Amino acid sequence: MAFRAELSAAVRRALTVWRRSIQARVVASTVLLSAVVVSIVGWFLLQQTREGLLEHRVDAVVAEARNETAEARNRLSFAPGLDVDASGQQQELVEPIIERGATRGFAVILSPRVGTEGGLAAGGTKFTRNLDKATVPAALERTFSRPATTSWTYTEIQATGDLAGLDEGPGIVVGSQLTLPADGGTYTLYYAFPLAEETETLALVTQALLTAAVLLLLLVAGLTWLVTRQVVTPIRMARQVAERLAAGQLQERLRVTGEDDLARLATSFNQMASNLQRQIRQLEELSRLQRRFVSDVSHELRTPLTTVRMAGDVLHDARQGFDPVTSRAAELLQVELDRFETLLADLLEISRFDAGAAVLDADDVDLVDVAHRVADMTGVLAAQRGTRVLVRDPGHVCLAEADVRRVERVVRNLVTNAIDHAESRDIVVHVAGDGESAAIAVRDYGVGLAPGESAMVFNRFWRADPARARTSGGTGLGLSISLEDTHLHGGWLQAWGRPGEGAQFRLTLPRRLGQRLRHSPLPLVPMDAEVSA
């Protein structure tokens, strides 16, 4: 098991290097292609060398076999045909050839008379001592089962003992026929020549080619590694600098050396980085000025708003004594002052988030109680819009360490937003919790969200339909503030929606502040939406 684990880890590391390293892939691909080319060329050279060696050897042994046969015929032409029997003549014929074969490195087999049943297996076969008659292939033996010209074939020389001057192994058998004067019969002489020298030469050539191929592949790998390193190293440096730029180190630049394409690329990269740094600083300064403007305006408006509010309250309290038009104007003034105060409060809250001045007053909070309180607070507004806010809790507490004021504000914003878009359908608030997190999901069945809008819905002042009236008097900052409140707790605030099927917003908080969230006890996509899909 330990070996398998180590092997698996090694394979994973190799795959990681293969995926991430261009240099490794280029070197491996080049070496592989080079190995294929070297193998093809080496195989071709070996074949040419083998064919050349064998062709030369065949020509030599066939010529030697013919010379031996011609000399044997010469001797037979001077032999008396009446005083010597066929067996004796065979012996006198083959013994000198066997003796010369022992010194010249070949073996001889004299077959029985052509037409004798059984061929070489029959009696009367004369051959070099310890030579196995199976050295002669059956195909060649069949060729000489009748009168034929000189023929040859490759074979495997076999022996039953020690062969004088001859080794077992690959060889060539040459067959040639002659006629004995003693009986007028045709006999076949088989000459077995070894290929030991050619085999040794091929082995040396093969070893030399393999050695050269290995050295060549090592050289190709080294050259490829050096060449790709010259290209990959600047790319790696550019990647490292880009990562540092992305991390906020805007002063990082590439070192430019030379005037080649890579140097020009580094120069262009540095120019791009300088432009990005300048634009980012401009945007940061603009954002800082914008936040300062919002903060200053929000604070400066508080004093005149207080004065206007006091005057508005006086007019609102005395509206009974006014004529109907003036009385209605006093009421509208009061409503718009309430909305303006809410917007001002939201702007001040956003400015605190931007300045990093927002802090938590954390305590153990039961999200079930929060959900019921928000449902009670928004019940009147929901009734005015012809809808209801229903809470479905698990029947037990769902605790989370949080700032109850901020969590209640998040849930209230989600519910009032759902009331705005519920289209007079019920709104359901789901609550759940587990050992690591607790969550509240607000589900409505109204207009829903178009694709892509779930990521934009938390932008400041963003609206899915700009022409739609805000029936609840919202400022357009509620969801943005809710997202900031959620991030302050280390939680998630996510949205899902489909056009015509409604939307669901899910707030997920860790059970303890600082604890990393890994999952939510409630699904983001509602179960009823999954079933309908």
- The candidate with the shortest Cα–Cα distance to 411, out of 378, 388, 385, is 378
Which has the higher per-residue pLDDT, 140 or 462? Answer: 140
390 and 351 in a common domain: no
512 and 367 in a common domain: yes
In 416-456 the beta strands, taken as DSSP E runs, fall at 427-433, 437-444
Residue 128's pLDDT is 84
Which of 154, 176, 198 is where one domain is finished? 198
**Does residue 509 have a pLDDT over 90?**
yes
Q: Would you state the structure tokens that stand for residue 264, as one six-digit string?
A: 């020009």
Residue 533's pLDDT is 40
Residue 86's pLDDT is 67
pLDDT band for 472, please (50, 70, 90 cuts): very low
**Gap between the Cα atoms of 106 and 89, Å rounded:** 22
Phi, psi values for residue 125, rounded to 5°: -75, 130
**Does residue 144 have a pLDDT over 80?**
yes
- The candidate with the shortest Cα–Cα distance to 120, out of 138, 94, 102, 107, is 138
Strands 437-444 and 502-510: antiparallel
**Gap between the Cα atoms of 531 and 331, Å rounded:** 48
Lowest-confidence pick of 66-70, 124-128, 132-136, 502-506: 124-128
**Does residue 294 have a pLDDT over 80?**
no
- Could you tell me if residue 129 is inside a domain? yes
At 81-132, the pLDDT tens digits run: 545 566 777 777 888 888 888 888 888 888 888 877 777 777 778 888 888 8
Contact 409, 479 (CB under 8 A): no
- Could you tell me if residue 345 is inside a domain? yes
- Could you tell me if residue 266 is inside a domain? yes
The Cβ of residue 171 has, within 10 Å, a number of other Cβ atoms equal to 25
By the 10 Å C-beta count (0-12 exposed, 13-18 middle, 19+ buried), 86 is classed as middle
Length of the chain measured in residues: 533
For residues 503-531, average pLDDT: 87
CATH number (domain holding residue 337): 1.10.287.130
- Could you tell me if residue 248 is inside a domain? no
How much of the chain exceeds pLDDT 90, in percent? 20
For residues 360-366, average pLDDT: 87
Which has the higher per-residue pLDDT, 303 or 428? Answer: 428
386 and 504 in a common domain: yes
298 and 366 in a common domain: no
445 and 335 in a common domain: no
344 and 437 in a common domain: no
Which of 335, 357, 379 is where one domain is finished? 357
pLDDT band for 1, please (50, 70, 90 cuts): low
Rg (the chain; Cα; Å): 51
426 and 393 in a common domain: yes
**Does residue 397 have a pLDDT over 80?**
yes
Q: State the average pLDDT for the chain.
A: 83
- Listing DSSP states for 59-75 in one string gives HHHHHHHHHHHHHHHHH
pLDDT band for 353, please (50, 70, 90 cuts): low
**Does residue 469 have a pLDDT over 60?**
no
Handedness of CA 94, 99, 103, 107 (dihedral sign): positive
pLDDT band for 411, please (50, 70, 90 cuts): very high
pLDDT band for 4, please (50, 70, 90 cuts): confident
How much of the chain exceeds pLDDT 70, in percent? 89
Lowest-confidence pick of 238-252, 296-310, 326-340, 484-498: 296-310
Residue 3's pLDDT is 75
At 475-489, the pLDDT tens digits run: 567 788 888 889 888
Contact 132, 163 (CB under 8 A): no
**Does residue 308 have a pLDDT over 70?**
yes
pLDDT band for 291, please (50, 70, 90 cuts): low
439 and 295 in a common domain: no
pLDDT band for 373, please (50, 70, 90 cuts): very high
pLDDT band for 532, please (50, 70, 90 cuts): very low
**Gap between the Cα atoms of 190 and 138, Å rounded:** 12
- Could you tell me if residue 483 is inside a domain? yes
524 and 386 in a common domain: yes
**Gap between the Cα atoms of 460 and 305, Å rounded:** 23
For residues 151-160, average pLDDT: 90
- Could you tell me if residue 50 is inside a domain? no
Contacts 24+ apart (CB under 8 A), 315-321: none
pLDDT band for 391, please (50, 70, 90 cuts): very high
**Does residue 328 have a pLDDT over 80?**
yes
CATH number (domain holding residue 489): 3.30.565.10
Residue 24's pLDDT is 81
367 and 335 in a common domain: no
Maximum CA extent, the chain:
170
Which of 160, 181, 198 is where one domain is finished? 198
- Could you tell me if residue 235 is inside a domain? no
**Gap between the Cα atoms of 188 and 22, Å rounded:** 69
- Could you tell me if residue 208 is inside a domain? no
Residue 337's domain comprises 256-357
At 430-443, the pLDDT tens digits run: 999 998 999 999 99
At 263-279, the pLDDT tens digits run: 788 888 888 888 888 88
Does the model's pTM come out above 0.85?
Answer: no
H or E element: which one contains 509?
strand 502-510
Give the CA angle between residues 324, 328, 333 to the nearest 5°. Answer: 150
Integer angstrom CA distances of residue 437 from 441, 479, 511, 527: 13, 21, 5, 20
The three-state DSSP-derived secondary structure of 102-115 is HHHCCEEEECCCCC
Look-up: residue for tokens 């029947």?
395
329 and 183 in a common domain: no
pLDDT band for 390, please (50, 70, 90 cuts): very high
Total structural domains within the chain: 3
For residues 45-61, average pLDDT: 89
Phi, psi values for residue 170, rounded to 5°: -60, 145
Phi, psi values for residue 502, rounded to 5°: 90, -170
Residue 443's pLDDT is 94
446 and 394 in a common domain: yes
Which has the higher per-residue pLDDT, 346 or 190? Answer: 190
**Does residue 290 have a pLDDT over 70?**
no
